């Protein structure tokens, strides 16, 4: 199949999968089911097409718009009030990610950029886009974040039930 037609197949299938996940009210369903749809398609068909070079820039711009538009001025007083917990959580999570990245790199399990982006906390979509942009292995970064998100989604109901009592 023509590579240009191939990535259009990805976009079409991913859109259908994402809409299905959203409609089923799966947490992060649009992202997760779009990704799973493409993965399953690629496993079944054993096909692979590169996305066009400019597509990464389009994703970065769209992600920047989404993040920027989610900011509300009312967040400033809340962030001031929660400064210490937010800072402590952020520094702890990033530090543990850095430590794991160093360990995985020294053990020759992962290259440094993939290890850092894979073990970093944060939005899967942003870190995957960053992986493409920095030359890290986007596949490895996707694996780390996909399994992290799935784990959180699967364990959240139980943990929330435990913590709410």
Give the pLDDT score at 1: 63
> Over the chain, what is the mean pLDDT?
87
Spatial contact of 123 and 70, defined as CB atoms under 8 Å apart = no
Neighbours of 31 (CB within 10 A): 22
88-115 tens-digit pLDDT: 999 999 999 999 999 999 999 999 999 9
49 or 76: which leads in pLDDT: 76
Angstrom distance (rounded) from CA 141 to CA 162:
31
Does the pLDDT at position 56 exceed 90? no
Neighbours of 16 (CB within 10 A): 13
Does the pLDDT at position 136 exceed 70? yes
Give the pLDDT score at 16: 95
- To the nearest whole percent, how much of the chain has pLDDT over 90? 36
Angstrom distance (rounded) from CA 23 to CA 154:
19
- To the nearest whole percent, how much of the chain has pLDDT over 70? 98
DSSP string, 29-59: HHHHHHHHHHHHHHHHH----PPPTTHHHHH
Give the pLDDT score at 3: 66
17-44 tens-digit pLDDT: 999 988 998 777 787 888 889 989 999 9
Give the pLDDT score at 112: 94
140 or 1: which leads in pLDDT: 140
158 or 2: which leads in pLDDT: 158
């Amino acid at each position: 199949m023509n590579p240009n037609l191939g990535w259009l197949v990805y976009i079409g299938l991913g859109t259908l999968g994402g809409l299905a996940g959203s409609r089923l009210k799966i947490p992060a369903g649009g992202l997760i089911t779009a990704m799973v749809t493409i993965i399953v398609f690629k496993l079944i068909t054993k096909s692979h097409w590169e996305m066009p070079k400019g597509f990464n820039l389009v994703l970065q711009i769209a992600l920047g718009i989404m993040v920027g538009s989610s900011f509300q001025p009312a967040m400033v007083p809340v962030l001031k009030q929660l400064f210490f917990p937010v800072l402590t959580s952020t520094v702890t999570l990033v530090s543990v990610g850095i430590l794991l990245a160093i360990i995985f790199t020294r053990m020759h399990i992962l290259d440094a950029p993939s290890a850092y982006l894979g073990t970093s906390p944060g939005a899967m979509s942003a870190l995957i886009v960053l992986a493409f942009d920095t030359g890290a292995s986007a596949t490895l970064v996707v694996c780390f974040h996909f399994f992290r998100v799935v784990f959180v989604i699967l364990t959240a109901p139980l943990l929330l039930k435990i913590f709410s009592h």
